[in-house]
């Protein structure tokens, strides 16, 4: 589903179909509504998202279709998948090649801001951790040629209605940005629902649905890691770009 569109905007670089829906669907939807170009690069096709974790090509196809459904719900302008990175085995592939491929994707699109995973990858999944690290290396590589985005954010799940149960890195547990996504929470929910093959996330989806029904404010959190501003952060910033 790649097609030529304007450079700039907000991009997310993540590991699996559904990472975008949990991590940043609301922020992407809000940006899109403001006329900002929104993009997503996913490194694997999620073929290990089977009940027992055994990779299955059919599951990869299904999750790619679910990803496109989620992208429509969010309103993304572009979704890209890398080739050759197995779900659950991204760290087994050459790290430098992954950095190169992410850097090339970013250099072509020149996003103003990039969202990725922090050092514990929210859930501790090794694919999340290596993709977050490779993305930050890719940005540093681009900076050497003056092509770096203005800002890099890592996902901080501390405001998630169903969050608070992960072992997080210091960056991930101290958000600098808190984005009020209440107005687009139904689109985040629709994006999550489109990943129907993944049933182990029902609790988080139920928590979001309950928050929407009780009309509580709903937030996504991020820690800006580039440029880095030392703590303390007296107040949350409320916009990514």
Name the residue number minimizing CB distance to Zn ion. 16
Q: Give the x-and-dash track for 19-58 against Zn ion (CB under 5 A).
A: x---------------------------------------
Q: What's the chain's length in residues?
A: 241
Total binding residues for Zn ion by CB under 5 A?
Answer: 3
* Rounded-to-5 percentages of helix, strand, coil across the chain: 40, 15, 45
Which CB, 22 or 153, lies closer to Zn ion? 22
Which CB, 45 or 223, lies closer to Zn ion? 45
- Of the candidates 9, 12, 16, 221, which one interacts with Zn ion according to CB under 5 A? 16
Q: Which stretch binds Zn ion (CB under 5 A): 10-18, 136-144, 168-176, 181-189?
A: 10-18
Q: What is the closest distance, in whole angstroms, from the C-beta atom of residue 216 to Zn ion in the complex?
A: 26
Q: Applying CB under 5 A, does 63 fall inside the site for Zn ion?
A: no
Q: Could you tell me the end-to-end alpha-carbon distance of the chain, in angstroms, rounded to an integer?
A: 25
Measure the CA–CA gap between 37 and 241, rounded to whole angstroms. 11
Please give the order of strands across the beta sheet that includes 151-156.
Answer: 78-81, 38-42, 10-14, 113-116, 151-156, 219-226, 177-180
Q: What is the closest distance, in whole angstroms, from the C-beta atom of residue 102 to Zn ion in the complex?
A: 16
Q: What is the closest distance, in whole angstroms, from the C-beta atom of residue 13 to Zn ion in the complex?
A: 12
Which CB, 19 or 47, lies closer to Zn ion? 19
- Does the CA dihedral 70-63-169-230 come out positive or negative? negative
List the structure tokens of 180.
Answer: 């009020």
State the residue for tokens 């954010």. 153
Q: What is the closest distance, in whole angstroms, from the C-beta atom of residue 87 to Zn ion in the complex?
A: 9
State the residue for tokens 């182990």. 200
Residues that bind Zn ion (CB under 5 A): 15-16, 19
């Amino acid at each position: 589903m790649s097609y030529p569109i304007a450079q700039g905007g907000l991009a997310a670089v993540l590991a699996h179909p559904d990472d975008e829906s949990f991590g940043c669907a609301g922020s992407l939807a809000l940006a899109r509504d403001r006329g900002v170009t929104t993009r997503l690069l996913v490194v694997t096709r999620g073929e290990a998202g089977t009940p027992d974790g055994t990779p299955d090509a059919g599951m990869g196809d299904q999750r790619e279709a679910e990803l496109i459904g989620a992208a429509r719900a969010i309103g993304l302008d572009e979704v890209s998948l890398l080739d050759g990175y197995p779900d659950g085995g991204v760290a087994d592939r050459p790290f430098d090649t992954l950095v190169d491929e992410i850097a090339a994707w970013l250099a072509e699109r020149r996003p103003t801001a990039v969202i990725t995973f922090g050092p514990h990858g929210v859930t501790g999944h090794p694919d999340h951790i290596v993709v977050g690290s490779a993305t930050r290396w890719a940005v540093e590589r681009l900076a050497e040629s003056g092509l770096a985005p203005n800002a890099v954010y890592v996902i901080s799940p501390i405001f998630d209605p169903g969050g608070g149960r992960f072992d997080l890195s210091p960056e991930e547990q101290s958000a600098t940005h808190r984005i009020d996504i209440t107005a687009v929470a139904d689109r985040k929910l629709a994006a999550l629902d489109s990943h129907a093959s993944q049933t182990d996330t029902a609790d988080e989806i139920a928590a979001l649905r309950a928050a929407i029904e009780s009309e509580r404010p709903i937030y996504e959190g991020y820690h800006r890691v580039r440029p880095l501003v030392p703590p303390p952060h007296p107040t949350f910033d409320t916009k990514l770009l």
